[in-house]
Amino acid sequence: MTISFDDFLAVDVRVGRITRAEPFPEARKPALKLWVDFGPEIGEKRSSAQITVHYRPEELIGRQVLAVVNFPPRQIGKVLSEVLVLGVPDAAGEVVLIGPGHEVPLGGRLF
């Protein structure tokens, strides 16, 4: 499937910093609850992520990640997920988070 550049620009992907991470035992599949700060323009948003194979909550604090910030919120169990934190599958299909290779300003947009 081919998309236009305008289609790509419609997806608002920003860099944020994980400020809080907790287990999400109520989720159907193992997951963590995340709070991600995207800076003053967007603020802090919540998400749920199935990343328990590679990450423990305490390791995630301070980590910069990329997330889609313009999807509508989605109720996942007791958590209202406001952003989609991005990752790619490893060889076993487990999610590995995507983030910048260097420290960048919060809220920076992917182009």
Q: Which domain holds residue 30?
A: 5-97
Structural domain contains residue 46: yes
pTM, to two decimals: 0.94
Question: What gap in Å lies between CA 19 and CA 78, rounded to an integer?
Answer: 20
* Tens-digit pLDDT profile for residues 89-110: 999 999 999 999 999 999 999 9
Residue with tokens 């990450």: 55
**CATH number of 49's domain:** 2.40.50.140
Structural domain contains residue 44: yes
Q: Which helix (H) or strand (E) holds 9?
A: helix 5-10
Classify each residue of 33-43 as buried b or exposed e, where b means 16 or more C-beta atoms within 10 Å of its C-beta.
bbbbbbeeebe
Structural domain contains residue 109: no
Q: How many CB atoms lie within 10 A of CB 53?
A: 12
How many structural domains are present in the chain?
A: 1
* Tens-digit pLDDT profile for residues 2-38: 999 999 999 999 999 999 999 999 888 999 999 999 9
Question: What gap in Å lies between CA 34 and CA 29, rounded to an integer?
Answer: 15
Q: How high is the mean pLDDT of the chain? A: 96
* Tens-digit pLDDT profile for residues 61-85: 999 999 999 999 999 988 999 999 9
Structural domain contains residue 58: yes
pLDDT reported for residue 77: 87
Structural domain contains residue 111: no
pLDDT reported for residue 111: 85
